[in-house]
Amino acid sequence: TVDVLVPGVLALAVMSTAFASLAIATGYERRYGVLKRLGSSPLPRWGLLAAKALTVLVVEALQVALVGGLGLMLGWQPHGSPVTVVVLLVLGTLAFAALALLMAGTLRAEVTLAAANLVYVLLLVAGGVAAPLDRFPTAVQPILEATPTGALTEGLRAVLVAGGGVPWADVWILAAWALAGFAAAARWFRWE
């Protein structure tokens, strides 16, 4: 139903923009020397990484408005706290952006292109975007729930479909992915 589909599409929008698009664009910026030129400016590494992640938030705000508006026109009836939804979307964005920057800053552009698309498809299929994770075999559900896609989709569904409170487990999973990803990206990101 549209109530289950809209949270999945919102998670897909976050994953597409903050992971696949950012990884590929940054990988090619690095290959063509754009990042090297930025690296010689007074802008610190963490500043570039944070700016790229925050820029993605602006694009996603437009996507959320569009997907949410279309969902409402199709009869979607969201429940739960909008603040909790925003927290989940921001944490999901930061987690995916961190992983994208880690990939783009450590791999060659062509490898980043292939790897980002492969990971994107795997997370799309196994991350609960199209169907809730409870439809997967119970043996793999905990593993899938620990992925950023699984945490984001299940968290959004818990709030928007079930109208529950804050899904703390999903919030902590996304925060852990974001912190670990940005720490690794800040450590190993190469400008050229």
Calculate the alpha carbon distances from 175 to 92, 169, 170 in Å.
8, 10, 9
| pLDDT tens column, 30-49 | 899 888 888 778 888 778 76
Least confident range of 93-102, 125-134, 142-151: 125-134
The whole-chain average pLDDT of the chain stands at: 91
| pLDDT tens column, 40-82 | 788 887 787 678 777 898 999 999 999 999 999 999 999 989 9
State residue 162's pLDDT score: 82
State residue 163's pLDDT score: 84
Percent of the chain with pLDDT over 90: 67
Calculate the alpha carbon distances from 141 to 53, 121, 150, 167, 177 in Å.
29, 18, 9, 16, 18
State residue 186's pLDDT score: 84
The position carrying tokens 């075999």 is 137
